[in-house]
Amino acid sequence: MAFVIVEEGESLESALKRFKRKVQQEGIIKEIKKHSVYLKPGERRRLKEAQARKRMRRRLKRERELEY
């Protein structure tokens, strides 16, 4: 669970900004969105395969750019 201790004399805006950054780094929002919708096992598998293909294309593109 993400939490931020507000320092003496620190503005609420800066503490809120630190909290938002911490929540984003821990991936809490991504995890909540992932569990908010039920995916059938087949849909989950297809999504996972699509993400793997996307990562592979990105990796190959990066390798081709480094060759030149």
Domain co-membership, 59 together with 44: yes
Given this model, what pLDDT does residue 47 score? 94
**Whole-number Å distance between alpha carbons of 29 and 58:** 24
Q: Number of structural domains, the chain?
A: 2
Domain co-membership, 10 together with 32: yes
Given this model, what pLDDT does residue 18 score? 95
Predicted confidence pLDDT, tens digits, the chain (68 residues): 889 999 999 999 999 999 999 999 999 998 998 889 999 999 999 999 999 999 999 999 999 988 77
Given this model, what pLDDT does residue 26 score? 93
**Whole-number Å distance between alpha carbons of 45 and 52:** 11
Domain co-membership, 5 together with 18: yes
Domain co-membership, 30 together with 4: yes
Domain co-membership, 18 together with 32: yes
Given this model, what pLDDT does residue 1 score? 81
Buried b / exposed e along 16-48 (16+ C-beta atoms within 10 A): eebeeeeeeeeeeeeeeeeeeeeeeeeeeeeee
Q: Which domain holds residue 42?
A: 38-68
Domain co-membership, 16 together with 30: yes
Structure-block tokens of residue 17: 């900004």
Q: What is the pTM of this model?
A: 0.53
